[in-house]
Structure 1
Amino acid sequence: MADHIIPSCPFCPFSDQDATFVEQHIEYCHPEGGAPPSHTYDSPAFETTSTSPSPSPFQVDEDSTEKYVECPHGCGETITTAELATHLDLHVAEGIALDDCGEVQSSPFNTELSSEPDLPSDLDDTRDLHVSQKGSKRGADRDFTRSNTSKPAQGRSRSPVGKLGPDGAKRLGRSELGPHAHEKKMPSWLKKMLEKGGRTSKQTRITPDGRLARHTSVENETENLIPVIAKLCEQDSSSQRVFLCSPKVRHVCKMPREGGFCGYRNIQMLVSYITKSKSLGHEHFPDGVPSILELQDLIERAWDLGFNSTGRTETGGIKGTRKFIGTPEAQALFMSLDIPCDASSLSEASNMRAHMALYQDVASYFRSNCSLDDEKKKVSMTDLPPIYFQHQGHSMTIIGFEIRDNNTANLLVFDPMFKTSPAMSRLIGTSAKSDNPARLLKAYRRETRYLQKYKMFELLKLPTPQPAPN
């Protein structure tokens, strides 16, 4: 019997079980029928540095290089050329309309580029993980302050390369802070847009008890999305076992033309969980999720108090700028508000790839909250907080872990770079029936093909809910 042929792109290694998705990939990534768009932008309008390869997973060298281009899809993001193809593929998934979905493919949805199995034989065995609880940052030498205390803590100074600040920290460049690394202040139109926030709208909905209630929604925030993802995973035949975080977290995405504020958007997602669940520290957010400008003030205040304070030297200050932030800034913010958080890094070891260590860590996190009854379910929805997740150049919020056919796995994420698709929006509050659940879930899955490109990951976890006393 002939093997099933997986549709693939004739111009690059991309392939997918969904032939329509491959066609859309070709349309977005190879509009001229050849090289991807990243090879065609030579205009001075696109900021560049030299294109030599980065020698470390989180590059710190001033001579290191990243070539940035604006997304040709028109979303306003400025991204590296290396990430452009993946970015455009996710735009396709982002725009899926409900009527686009056909029948579910019977074979596994993931197409792996690596020959190694995605899952170790025992996901709960983390003894062999090469996990550094202190060696992580934007670059490879930055320490986390992991003690859950309100006492100010100093990060370890980095290697004495280049100009050092009075605290022994080195000023970072574009490879860590993005294309606006040396910006003094963001454009006035952008600041006004961030001050105004996303557009709000009000709808009247029927509550479960039959009453009418007014509901206010924000254009770049989506509530009640995790229950939809849970129902789609139940329907997807390629999904074998799924763990999800608390449904109280919102998907917060960027607004049109805002650019790369992903770190802030992920902090907002964690705060949305804190406020909705009334968990430790919720009293610090009486007006709900803080804006990006308010988060910048909170981070600068955390530095003033001594939490990961080398960040001020490394960034040159972030208030009113578009500089990228990372896990240390998220950690400093929460700890300055007496909200305990656990920051860690996962890197490659001789016996394990970084993405495998990541799978083990995340799987263990979710399984630790499951009862014996939960283990019998295909989809387990927990009350756990989501996880702040960082790799080189981008951050997301982990909302779950999924085991797939043929012993493969992937993370389930809310990516702040992409908005909720029309299809997913229409399924909220419904039974979420779909002829092709795998296609709708594509925007939320980050599989080995994506993750294996990176040699280091960073995670930040909030305290888990404590069971009520008997």
Structure 2
Amino acid sequence: METISSCPICNIQVLTAELEWHANSHFDDDQLQMDMELAHQMSVAESSTDAMNDPKHYSGSFTSDSNALGALSSHSGYSHHYSELLDEQISCLVRAQIRSKVQEVEGGILSLLRSCLESEAGSSTSMISCYIDHHQSLSSEDKGWGCGWRNIQMLSSHLLKQRPEAREVLFGGSGFVPDIPSLQRWLEIAWDKKFDTIGSSHFHNKIYGAKKWIGTTECAALFRSFGLRARIVDFDSTESSDLHSNNGSRAASQVRGPMDKFLIKNKPPKSSSELCREDAESTRGQQALVDWVWNYFASERSDRLATQRVTVSNKTPLYFQHQGHSRTIVGIQKKPDRRGSQEQYSLLILDPGHRTADLERCLRSKKGWQRLVKRGVHTLRKPQYQLCYVDPGIASSEEVERLKTIDGTLVRF
């Protein structure tokens, strides 16, 4: 039977047989940091060289530039050396990463949800993703800050189960969803590969061991670093956003993380006219969001699993970010209004803040599950929302370079 020991440096529980390697890896991190600092010095030197060769910036002084060039020439093999170090970091992480603890649900959480949706009274139609594992936040580990990581774990569980190409590349082909510390390491590696350099600067390129919120930007950077086509959609009604398309509704935008725009800020009291305008914007935003979500899941249906009331979609679940929290959208339901004038929508959501055991019990008994899973459109009253999902396939090397810049589709309302 394998025994477990605590690392004397970070106190993480590891296999005793791997303790020496794990402890030594901390010193490898120090060496990598030194190499990264050297890379920064080299980039400064290159910038100085460009300026020196440009007649507009010629100053007649070569002292500091010459020293920098000397350092640069003495490290001409740096790029290859750094690449080897990064490969070694990845290889070590693949061996050391720990599987996330997840409560197994017999039959699957979404299979139970489909059964509940089909048995509901009244007339309704639902779109739902085909598979996901629920990863709950734990008071002993990540309560209050870990929702973003838990949503990444939920989305990863879908990709590993439903996308063979993703299973081959995700987390070094391990075939399982890593725990939060391991995911933090993977995100740092994504940043080292130059994915989302703007967002990473908010964290000073370090996230391992930190109890910090992350958002869709970090989710996209992590998955893109494996060659997956993670996309972001930004729903925004704020006047501060000045990105418009030709028709005023959609535009490409650069998404800048991590969570600044979602933090609550103290503002002066609003007038009644401002509140009325916000209500109107909220109504437009609600409709824009639910229309997009419905069309998203409906665009790739699995007829094999469809029933009269529930259609299963092959699309990935949606990482759902809003002010102060994030959750995972696994589907959407619509039913006729009681007056028959319009349709009522409800998002079907898994919240990391809920206990998996509570979800399973309510879904299996078909009692009280609506309050845990359903979120009516009237609850969507935030000025901004972001969604992240993953398109099929693996990006080519040229496409990967483009994916390093985290951009998204802006939907204004």
* Cα distance between partner residues in 2 of 1:346 and 1:279: 31
1:340 alignment counterpart:
229
Shift of the 423–388 alpha-carbon distance from structure 1 to 2, 3 Å rule, reads closer
* Cα distance between partner residues in 2 of 1:370 and 1:250: 20
**Does structure 2 retain, via aligned residues, the 8 Å contact 1:254–1:417?**
yes
1:458 alignment counterpart:
386
What CA deviation, in whole Å up to 9, does each residue of 1:234-290 have, x standing for no partner?
A: 11124611010012x111111233312010000111110111124332123314001
1:233 alignment counterpart:
117
Unaligned runs of 5+ in 2: 1-96, 238-248, 250-279, 338-342, 395-413
* Cα distance between partner residues in 1 of 2:354 and 2:362: 17
Deviation of the 1:219 alpha carbon? 3.6
Q: For the aligned residues, what is the CA RMSD?
A: 2.9
**Counterpart selection for 1:323 from 192, 197, 212:** 212
* Cα distance between partner residues in 1 of 2:107 and 2:182: 22
* Cα distance between partner residues in 2 of 1:251 and 1:400: 14
Counterpart code for 1:444: V
What CA deviation, in whole Å up to 9, does each residue of 1:3-32 have, x standing for no partner?
A: xxxxxxxxxxxxxxxxxxxxxxxxxxxxxx
Deviates more, 1:254-263 or 1:370-379: 370-379
**Counterpart selection for 2:371 from 417, 442, 452:** 442
Please list, as runs of the form range in 1=range in 2, the aligned pairs for 1:259-274 lying within 5 A after superposition.
259=143, 260-274=145-159
What CA deviation, in whole Å up to 9, does each residue of 1:99-146 have, x standing for no partner?
A: xxxxxxxxxxxxxxxxxxxxxxxxxxxxxxxxxxxxxxxxxxxxxxxx
* Cα distance between partner residues in 1 of 2:360 and 2:304: 29
Counterpart code for 2:384: M
Shift of the 287–378 alpha-carbon distance from structure 1 to 2, 3 Å rule, reads closer
What CA deviation, in whole Å up to 9, does each residue of 1:4-62 have, x standing for no partner?
A: xxxxxxxxxxxxxxxxxxxxxxxxxxxxxxxxxxxxxxxxxxxxxxxxxxxxxxxxxxx
**Does structure 2 retain, via aligned residues, the 8 Å contact 1:220–1:255?**
no
Asked if 1:388 corresponds to 2:388, the answer is no
What CA deviation, in whole Å up to 9, does each residue of 1:376-433 have, x standing for no partner?
A: 8211122221111111111111100110341211110111111124473486xxxx56
Identity of aligned residues (%): 28
Deviation of the 1:198 alpha carbon? 6.5
**Does structure 1 retain, via aligned residues, the 8 Å contact 2:301–2:314?**
no
Q: TM-score, normalised by structure 1?
A: 0.48
Unaligned runs of 5+ in 1: 1-194, 200-217
Richer in helix (by share): 2
What CA deviation, in whole Å up to 9, does each residue of 1:327-376 have, x standing for no partner?
A: 11001011111011111101237876222211011000111123789998
**Does structure 2 retain, via aligned residues, the 8 Å contact 1:245–1:381?**
yes
Asked if 1:415 corresponds to 2:298, the answer is no
1:242 alignment counterpart:
126
Counterpart code for 1:459: L
**Does structure 1 retain, via aligned residues, the 8 Å contact 2:302–2:314?**
no
* 2:165 aligned counterpart, secondary structure: coil
**Does structure 1 retain, via aligned residues, the 8 Å contact 2:303–2:312?**
no
* Cα distance between partner residues in 2 of 1:363 and 1:399: 11
**Does structure 1 retain, via aligned residues, the 8 Å contact 2:103–2:356?**
no
Q: TM-score, normalised by structure 2?
A: 0.54
**Does structure 2 retain, via aligned residues, the 8 Å contact 1:198–1:219?**
no
Shift of the 374–219 alpha-carbon distance from structure 1 to 2, 3 Å rule, reads closer
* Cα distance between partner residues in 2 of 1:323 and 1:410: 30
* Cα distance between partner residues in 1 of 2:329 and 2:152: 12
**Does structure 2 retain, via aligned residues, the 8 Å contact 1:412–1:444?**
yes
Shift of the 277–196 alpha-carbon distance from structure 1 to 2, 3 Å rule, reads closer
Shift of the 196–338 alpha-carbon distance from structure 1 to 2, 3 Å rule, reads closer
* Cα distance between partner residues in 2 of 1:303 and 1:198: 22
